[in-house]
Amino acid sequence: MGELGQLEKQHQEFDKRNIRVMVISNDDQKTAQATQADFPHLLVVSDPEQAMARAVQVIQAGVGPNGSDTNAPTTFLVDGAGTVRWFFRPDRFIVRLSPAELLAAIDTSGQGK
């Protein structure tokens, strides 16, 4: 959850750009609510059945606990109309986009207006 802490620390930069950071979690509702309490400037969404993850096609098969399927670390920039304007999905599961890289992508894409 280190990356969530890094994103939380940059909340003022996201606010300046009128950006809301949403995290899709495989956790159940109770666990997602606890995570939400730890990171109040992020929006944590519980998706234990992976319905949302399947809809946006970010399931990575066999890399979760005990060989289960899990969400691949993927970042989407979605505008107010619901159109994906930019996305990032690393080649390696352990790689995450840094907040600085995300802010640069927001600025480059024109989404942070």
| pLDDT tens-digit readout, 16-68 | 999 999 988 889 999 999 999 999 999 999 999 999 999 988 888 888 889 88
Give the CA distances from residue 93 to residues 2, 46, 55, 72, 86, in Å, rounded to whole numbers and listed in that order: 15, 20, 19, 6, 19
| Integer Cα distance of 112 and 94 in angstroms | 27
Query: What amino acid is encoded at 6 in this protein?
Result: Q
- Distance separating alpha carbons of residues 3 and 96, to the nearest angstrom: 7
In this structure, which topology does domain 2-109 adopt according to CATH? Glutaredoxin (3.40.30)
Helix/strand/coil for 13: helix
- In 1-113, DSSP assigns E strands to 21-25, 42-46, 59-60, 70-71, 75-78, 84-88
Look up tokens 């995570």; give the residue: 35
0.85 exceeded by pTM: no
pLDDT tens readout for residues 57-110:
888 888 888 988 888 888 888 888 888 888 888 776 666 788 898 899 899 887
Q: Judge whether 6 and 98 are in contact, CB under 8 Å.
A: yes
pLDDT class of 113 with cuts at 50, 70, 90 = low
